[in-house]
Amino acid sequence: MNINKKKERERKPAFGTAIRALSQHDLILPMDLMTKDKTGKVALQQLLGWDKFQAKGRFKGGDTKDGHIVLLGGVKNSNAREYFSEDEYRALWDRNWLDHILCLWCRAVFLARLHCKDAIVDQ
């Protein structure tokens, strides 16, 4: 048996477990959308009714006025294409394809809830 097919078969149950676990939550907040063009602040206002965004502590970076706060470390560049060769990046992408699907699923659930008032997302 091909080792890649065996690994793929082993990953699918974990993927199903992740979907089931996330489906039990009332709200999923994809962090890449939470800090983009104030989408996160608007989402927290619409979905949770929050109107105050204050945080206390020593800040390493971010924009406290608009709700993007980094408490430890600093704002990091997470663009993997800058650090890996094209072949290394493709290999990393291939190993994490289920994670990418899971991330897109979370974004879809979040955006449907945010923009479709009558949308019901049943799993």
Of 45, 46, 43, 21, which is closest to residue 32 (Cα–Cα)? 43
How many angstroms separate the CA atoms of 22 and 15, rounded?
11
> 43-52 contacts: CB < 8 A, separation 24 or more?
43/110, 43/114, 46/114, 47/113, 47/114
Which tens digit of pLDDT belongs to each residue from 10-46?
778 888 888 888 888 877 888 777 766 677 777 788 8
Q: Is 62 helix (H, G, I), strand (E, B) or coil?
A: strand
Which tens digit of pLDDT belongs to each residue from 53-85?
665 555 555 555 555 555 566 666 778 888 899
What is the value of pTM for the model shown?
A: 0.60
